[in-house]
Structures are given as structure tokens and as C-alpha cells.
Amino acid sequence: GSTGYALLFKAADVPSIGYATYKVQQTKTTIIKGAAAAALTNGKYKVETDLYTVVINPEKGGTIESLVAKTLGNKEFVDKNNERKFNELRGDFFKDGGFHSSADQAATVSIIENGPARVKLQVKGVISGQPFTQILSFTQGQKRIDLHLKIDWQGSPGIGNPYAQAEKFEPTSLKKAFYDDRDKLLTLFPLNLPSQKVYKNAPFDVTESKLDNTFFDSWDNIKNNVVLNWVDVTDGADSYGMAMLTDHTTNYTHGKDFPLGLTIAYSGIGLWGRNYSLKYPTEMNYALIPHAGKWDKSGIWTEGTKFNEPMTAMLMDSAPADNDMSRSMISLAGTGLEVSSVTVSGKDLLVRLFNAEGDIQPKKLMLDAIAEKAEVVELNGTPVKTLTMSKGTVSPTTVSISMPRFGLRTIKFSAVRAVKNPG
């Protein structure tokens, strides 16, 4: 709020497509050991949570020197032998001497929140004369590490491949400077994962990349370097991995001799010869999730949904009735299925399901309403199959549905009417 204060708490057991109510009560102060950060005698900063031990090095631009996952056999995820630094900003400032990195000079690191629920560190640094601020957030009990970046551009530097930047734009030339991501401003994550494999999500799909690298500099060599929501890099045996999540669709970088990276900015000649400049601050959120096993076993799709569609909190004017503290309009038994949309059509309710990480075994869907009929329909509304409805122990309408991995099913509930809470 306007006071600058916020209440941070763990909202456990919030039901799907529903709500749970929490009450703040005044009690005696209890000191709980949780997430904590400390400045070390060598000038570095150390963050400890129940899941991670992280070391940040101000002398190297506030980059992450070590990231150890305690619950994954104390696995070190940072490739310390790589020339590049972890969470380093780097790009080709072609008007200012070429490649520059945030790790080239020291940054100022400060602890702005120090547990026990969450630790937040602020990194203030400079890259090629451009001031940037990073916020690193580590939450107790949360696998996801949140990162926020803001760059306040001074003027509009040129960042990217220097090819033909000072010459007349040739639209018929196959080669274009803006194709090559290697020279753009990137955030880099060199990973301690041998024989790396790349998985990434797409609309209602997840694919494994077969590319040696993501780079091209001409139209006839174009490659799919798009990241929709997340990219996951594992070792060759799918034993360990690191998922990188982004709050907007952009490009990612990766190669046998090039670390995982996220494209932050390009400034130079672009489509149709237009000069793409950096007039306003660049601000974005991204996140990292160290994990064991493949993306589906570690629930990366679900984690990506949580990142891009977080729960929202609302302060209530009065306490709800005792029988209205928690409700779920639609819930699914088990894991792996996602409710991708809910549409009201007259008195009917259309619920679309997507099998992101689950198996083909039947799952129960519970609707907190009464319906006269339930059926699977095509995207155009054509009926496919009538479903048997039953009354569950916690829901008036329950149906069973199965679908293969990456399958879609639309369930039409006809003549839906509400059920009053008992009371």
C-alpha cells in the first residue's frame, strides 16, 4: 500500500478456481528460523533457505557465484569453470567498444528483506555506463527463485551485431544484424550440467530441441529460438535440470559452447530498416527453478503457470460466514491437468482441460454447481460423448475424464445452476 508495508504469508491449501480466507490475529512474537542473508567477511553475500545456499559476489557485478540445492544432494548448479558468470548481463555495445559485461566492474549489493519468510537482495551495477538494478528473491519453501531487472537507459546505446549498422539498409540481403542473438544484451546462466539437453514449452505442447545451437544470422538459416514461458536445460541423463521462466515471450540462447541465456534487449537496425532504439527503461521479471528429473516429473509446467498467473489477495471489509471461508468452483483430483479456460454460454458452462504433465488415467473433475447434463464436445461445440455424472462427497457434480499427454478436452455442463452453501 501507500505506507510501503506488505504482509507476506504462505497461503496453503488454496483450492483451484476458488478462494481461501485467512485471518490475521495478534499473538506473542515467535522467532522462527527461516530464510536469511548475511554479508561475509570476504565481501560476498550468502543466502540460506531450507532449499538453497547461494553466494553473490559484488566484485563481479553482483553475479551468483554458487547455487547449491540442499534437497537435491547438495548439487552445485553454477558452472564455475565457465568464463561467463551466472546471472551476468552481457552484450555487444557496438558504438562503445564492443562487448561489455555487468561482471566487468563491482556492484553494490544490499539486503532489503531478511527473512524468515523471504530474503531479497538488491544489486545496483553498471554495464557500459548504463545503470541497472536487479532484485533477487529467495522464499522459504519455494523452489522458484525470482529475479527482477530494470535498466535505466542513458541515451540509446547500440546493442547487437555490428553488421551494416552504419550503412544503408539492404532489404534484399539475407543477412541481418538483428537475427544474431549472440551479440544482443543477454542474461547468462552457465550451468554445471554435462551433455545438456533443452526442453521448452509451446502453446499446449512441450518440445525437445534438436539444434546444436540457437544462432543464425540470415533468413535462410532461421531457427526456433523462441521462449514462450519457459526453457528447461537438463544434463544428458535427465538427472538434474534448471528451468528458466520469463514473464513475456522473447528469445533464449543456448549452444554446446554457449550458456543458457535470456534475451534482454537489442538496439540497432531492425525490420524494414527501422532504427530500434532504447528510449525508455527496460524492466522484466524472470525466474529460475533447479530441479531433479525431466520437466514433467518436476512439475515445471505447473510452476510456469504459478509464475505467470500468481494468486491474488484482497483485503475484506468484513469476515465471511463460517461456511464460506473456502470454496472451489472447479477442482481436479490428482495432478497434471490444467483448466485452461472456463466460458459461460447462456446457462451452460464450458470447461476446457489440458493434460500438461499427467498420464492417461481417468481423473475426477468436481463442479460446485448442479448441471442437468455433462458431455465432451469438440472445439466447435459438436457433441462427442456424454459423461456420467455423480454426486461427490464435497461436490454436487462429479465426472471422470481421461486424455493423453498434451491432449485437450472441452466439457460442456448444461443448464448449470448454483448451489447454496449449507448453513
The DSSP secondary structure of 313-353, one letter per residue, reads: ----SSPPPGGGSEEESEEESSSSEEEEEEEEETTEEEEEE
Number of H helices, E strands in the chain: 1, 32
The cell numbers describing 149, all together, are: 531487472
Give the pTM: 0.93
Spell out the domains of the chain, with CATH numbers in brackets: 30-308 (2.70.98.30), 322-414 (2.60.40)
pLDDT > 70: percent of the chain: 98
How far apart CA 48 and CA 269 sit, in angstroms, is 44
pLDDT grade, residue 78 (50/70/90)? very high
Tell which phi-psi region holds residue 320, choosing left (phi > 0), alpha (psi between -120 and 50) or beta.
Answer: beta
Tell me how far apart the alpha carbons of residues 291 and 297 are, in angstroms, rounded to a whole number: 9
The pLDDT value given to residue 421: 59
The three cell numbers locating residue 178: 538483428
| Nearest to 135, CA basis, from 342, 287, 17 | 287
Q: Yes or no: say if 81 and 72 are a contact pair by the CB < 8 Å rule.
A: no
Identify the band that residue 28 occupies on the pLDDT scale cut at 50, 70 and 90: confident
Taking only Cα atoms into account, the Rg of the chain, rounded to an integer number of angstroms, comes to: 25
The 10s digit of each residue's pLDDT in 181-203 is 999 999 999 999 999 999 999 99
Instruction: Give per-residue pLDDT as tens, 269-320.
Output: 988 888 899 999 999 999 999 999 999 999 999 999 999 999 999 989 998 9
| 158, 93 contact by CB (below 8 A) | yes
Closest listed residue to residue 152, CA positions, set 181, 124, 186 = 124
pLDDT in tens, 1-23: 455 678 888 888 899 999 999 99
Q: Give me the pLDDT at residue 333, please.
A: 87
Between the CA atoms of 154, 155, 160 and 166, what dihedral angle is there, to the nearest 10 degrees? Answer: -160
Q: Which three cell numbers stand for residue 204?
A: 499446449
Q: What is the pLDDT of residues 252-275, one digit of tens each?
A: 999 999 999 999 999 999 888 888
Q: pLDDT for 107-148, tens place per residue? A: 999 999 998 999 999 999 999 999 999 999 999 999 999 999
